[in-house]
Amino acid sequence: MTPPCPTFSAALQEAGKGKSFLQSFAVATGRGGKFFYKFFTSRYIKFPNLAPQTQNLCYNGIGYGAGRAKFSAAAASGRFCAGEKGRRIGILTSGGGGPGLNAVIRGFCKYCFNKMKDVEILGFLEGYAGLIDRQYRQLSPADVEGILDLGGTILGTSRQPYKLMTVKEGEGPTRLQQMVENYKKLRLDCLVTLGGAGTHKTASLLSVEGCNVIGLPKTIDNDIYGTDVTFGFHTAVGIAADALKRIRTTADSHRRVFFVEVMGNKVGWLTLYAGMAAGADAILLPEIPFDEDNLIKFIAEKQASGARSVVIAVAEGAMSRREADMGKKERRDYLVQFGSATVAERLAGTISQKSGLSCRSTVLGHIQRGGDPCAYDKVISTDIGAFGAHLADIGRFGVTVCIKGNRLGFNVLTDIAGRTKRVPADGQQVLLAKDMGVYFGE
């Protein structure tokens, strides 16, 4: 009978003297290469030849996608078994700031300190840059007290473009290689990443490289595929809706048309929700290209009906039908003529020139990212953080937390990375809004 091995990596070392990883795996488990792929990509498996503590691997305990690329960094360090003492977990906040980041960090850390034995939590500073440069601080229970209501992030954040992660700069390693190397050197059992679409794409790369990664969905754009809502979104909706309502009073006073630009990147969720919450007359979304001439007709009809003002919520990624028919390069060349003007500024100028209407524009900008999270975001941020810690506790990696039908769950990182959740142009919310007379620019 094979003597028990204390960890999976130890089993491989015993079984694999002079053999490849795949051969070692087959010897250690008594199974072949096809099973190896199946284990890493699909299901919960126990190993008959390994010790009970080593068998305590949860669904893809070494990480989704790890078998598709390289031997897991966690297995290489011998530190990954669910329930094992002395675990070391890294956490970072990446990409654009947003409400709820600190609440998530707090929820995650509180679970870890309360439920895990001898856990270390390393907070990487300034997002992925901290992992690249090995800049971090060890978090203690005192560090996460009193931050539930605090806007921003105690760890700092930065943007590290996904496209540059695998690009070599000079003779040195790529940023991705640096992160994987530091993950191993720091003997991390897990890395938790709080961020949006770009953060999740990089997290997926790290997962494929063998790191144990858990994503937590942060973005005011609400565009992460596979989740009903992201933390920070509802706070931003409230801020934008409040601004739209304030614009209405000044627009009424001066009988003006206002184009109010709302964030959201290339999707219209934030603009749709804020526009509906504020009673906007028209809502222009990236998913529904607008017609400028029809927009002028709509404004004229509103004014003819006695309306003192027309308030139009404009997504920053909204575009005309003409632009929508262009390729990316053609669209870039077309927009050069407008200089740095935003879509709301361009519309206000163009509509005024064509119609003689008194139009103004306001760009809400980063006010939507700042401040304390609303009560709803504080609740879901805490829940998401704690659930992410639960996944780390049971060894379920290569996933990102999601909310579906008011229940917490998870999606596989490689399944959602690079995909975008867009507003369906024929969705129920848009159709009901149209039935109430809200104009969408067609």
Task: Say yes or no to pLDDT of 259 above 60.
Answer: yes
pLDDT tens per residue across span 152-163? 999 999 988 878
Report which of residues 180 and 21 the model is more confident about.
180
Task: Say yes or no to pLDDT of 409 above 50.
Answer: yes
Q: What is the DSSP letter of 243?
A: H
Q: What are the CA-CA distances from residue 42 to residues 58, 67, 327, 398 (Å)?
A: 11, 11, 39, 11
> What is the arithmetic mean of pLDDT over 234-253?
97
Task: Say yes or no to pLDDT of 109 above 80.
Answer: yes
- Buried-state track 2-14, b at ≥16 Cβ within 10 A, e below 16: eeebebbbbbbee
Task: Say yes or no to pLDDT of 36 above 80.
Answer: no
- Residue 93 has phi, psi (to 5 degrees) of -115, 130
Q: Scan for tokens 């003779």, then name that residue.
A: 171
Least confident residue range of 21-35, 97-111, 348-362: 21-35
Task: Say yes or no to pLDDT of 393 above 70.
Answer: yes
pLDDT tens per residue across span 115-146? 998 999 999 999 999 999 999 999 999 999 99
The answer to whether the beta carbons of residues 426 and 92 sit under 8 Å apart is no
> What is the arithmetic mean of pLDDT over 88-98?
94
Task: Say yes or no to pLDDT of 234 above 80.
Answer: yes
**Rounded CA separation 57/11 (Å):** 14
Using pLDDT thresholds of 50, 70 and 90, give the confidence band for residue 170.
Answer: confident
Of the chain, the percentage scoring pLDDT greater than 70 comes to 81
pLDDT tens per residue across span 336-359? 888 889 999 999 999 999 999 999
**Rounded CA separation 282/295 (Å):** 9
| Domains of the chain as residue ranges with CATH | 8-77 (no CATH), 88-226+373-416 (3.40.50.450), 233-371 (3.40.50.460)
Task: Say yes or no to pLDDT of 437 above 70.
Answer: yes
Question: Given this model, what pLDDT does residue 16 score?
Answer: 44
pLDDT tens per residue across span 37-69? 333 333 333 333 333 333 333 333 333 333 333
Q: Which helix (H) or strand (E) holds 361?
A: strand 359-363
Average pLDDT over the chain, rounded to an integer: 84
**Rounded CA separation 388/92 (Å):** 13
Question: Which amino acid, 190?
Answer: C
Q: Residue 93, SS3?
A: strand
Active site residues: 221
Question: Given this model, what pLDDT does residue 162 score?
Answer: 75
